[in-house]
Amino acid sequence: MRGRYDNLTRTRALDPERDYLAIYQTMLRYEFPWDMKLALNLAFNRSFSIPAIATVHTATGELTERTQKRIDDTGLLMYEMVLNGFDQPRAREALRRVNQIHRPYDISNDDFRYVLGCLVVIPTRWLQEYGWRPPCCHERHATYLFYRELGRRMGITDIPGSYDEFETWFDAYDAGHLQPNDDAAAIERATRMLMLTRIPRMLAPLGNALVGALYDAPLRRATRVDTPAWPVRAGLHLALRTRSRLQRWFGAPRTTALFADGIKTKSYPDGYEISQLGPHQDGVRE
């Protein structure tokens, strides 16, 4: 327990308006590394499931035919911006690559806002439910500010003015647009194998049901995933809540930052060039 809340104490002494990057980095790299990585995966899964967005992804084949590489590329580009801050050379290159990848596609501003909202709201709600402690107001505000700045640099407009406003907008858009569709179901089947790798080996026979239990009911409907039996859903919920309590009571602060030795992925065991991440469409040049 010694020092368990030291990072929170330091966070509360910071100004989120000025220090949002440092706060968000602490959340990802020290306070909630496992939870944040899983919750960001769930956020991307949800963003891929809106029919208009799912159609784009199935048309390119990036998520259904080159699944591991596509997921690795997305994670690398995002983590480069989180680890380095938007004004550092590697982060600027990553953002430039993100904008290049999206440029050829007719994606509405609302759909871009929805993807941003997934990254803001889904991880925050996960931490509220299953983190070893809930995120404080500074952490919620810093999360919002980080993604607001990312959205601004991507040219996304009309971003809601606070976390609470974004959450309200997100829920309304999600309810109106996250509808059952075959493209989302195809993407979920392709990406499911990556979620299954997070299931402990002893629970492998229940793997598919546990992955389905990680999704909420609207996401299951959109991706045509069967609702797992209630004992599986209840058991997963209990296990995650028990984990959070054990971490709170007996855990110690992480002393080595997540990605301290660099970001390692299956697709790039020998390293990667940011300019080479993602699909390379005709007419797009680095």
Nearest CA among 32, 39, 10, 27 for reference residue 251? 32
| Structural tokens at position 133 | 């402690």
pLDDT of residue 1: 58
Cα separation, 148 vs 156, whole angstroms? 9
Cα separation, 226 vs 212, whole angstroms? 7
pLDDT of residue 99: 95
Residue stretches of the chain with pLDDT short of 70? 1-2, 280-286
Cα separation, 15 vs 23, whole angstroms? 9
pLDDT of residue 280: 67
| Structural tokens at position 250 | 């007996």
pLDDT of residue 93: 98
Cα separation, 166 vs 172, whole angstroms? 10
Q: Could you tell me the pTM of the whole model?
A: 0.94
